[in-house]
Chain A
Amino acid sequence: MKQKKLLAVASAGGHWVQLLRMRPAFEFLSLHWISTSPGVASQVDHEEFTSVRDANMWDKPGLVLMAIQIAWRVLLYRPDIVVTTGAAPGYFAIVFARLLGAKTIWIDSIANAEEMSLAGKKARRWATHWITQWPELSGDDGPTYIGSVL
């Protein structure tokens, strides 16, 4: 059977630190990483890595460039699954990969203990799995809780 392709996406900083903690769940899969700082490639140095422009909701031109970079990577890589902890790059990855039929897993940052993040709320309709790390936030018409990275 062909090895499944997983795209793991997070902006640098706390989102990235959380994504790295999930690494054991990605073993035996073909893996490609995306983050917003070329420097963090050293933390996954034996694997494929793409650095994209860093931007947030308040930097529209930066967001457009980031979206293009991610769309391009998604088209080239054609992931079967996307896993992301956010924020903006994860949102774009989930949108484009979903349009191509991939399974898309949004795991909201553990920093969001009281409500889902802004990017998380926007990602909801594109995510096949919409996950929180806080049991209090989960519910029948809310996100699913599967534990936390801590």
Chain B
Amino acid sequence: MIFVTVGTQLAFDRMVCAVDRWVNAKDTQIVAQVGPTEVRFSNIKYKSFLEQEQLDYILKNTELVVAHAGMGSILSSLSLGKPIIIMPRKASLGEHRNEHQMATAKRFQNRPGVYVAWDEQQLVVLLNRWSIERFDNVDEISNTAPTEFIANLKRLIGNTQ
């Protein structure tokens, strides 16, 4: 199963359509959170928004995550050890308010288990690659921030025992 998500705010039809066209030729099951959109997709199971419990279940059971370059999607995938393909939204195409997702994609592009699709064509190339290789090189992260960050934050809060 592949889980496709556009996050919790805005639709991202350019990415979901690319997956919808790709899956036409494959037998992979796709589940998607597509956000607020009028577009109808023909080859995938989708909802505008999934409940938290559904999200937790799907994330746990998916083999691959395809997502916009949002931090929630990236952190959630990596903390479950799931490989993720991220496609940054472009403000120039009206997909977000600024280009911070391009910056996020650049910062994460060399991290094991994170694959960046800069456009729809590269997304299809990566999906085809995943069908053959599966991506099992994920650099899994823990559920919590690093110890040093926690210690520094505790100090700021004044939460020292």
Contact = CB atoms under 8 A, between A and B. Distances in A.
Interface residues of A, number: 44
Given A18-B71, A18-B75, A113 B104 contact: yes
Interface of B is mostly: helix
A95 interface: no
Nearest to A56: B9
B94 interface: no
Interface string A92-113: 0000000000010101011111
A12 B158 CA distance: 26
A15 B9 CA distance: 12
A148 interface: yes
Interface residues of B, number: 34
Nearest to B76: A17
B25 interface: no
Contacts, number: 110
A12 B49 CA distance: 12
A35 to B, nearest CB: 11
Interface in A6-50: 6, 12-18, 20-29, 37, 39-40, 42-43
A12 B51 CA distance: 12
Q: Which of A17, A26, A40, A43 has the most chain B CB atoms inside 10 A of its CB?
A: A17
Interface of A: 4, 6, 12-18, 20-29, 37, 39-40, 42-43, 56, 81, 83, 103, 105, 107, 109-114, 118, 129, 131, 146-150
Given A6-B157, A27-B159, A105-B157, 4 more contacts: A6-B159, A26-B159, A105-B153, A149-B146
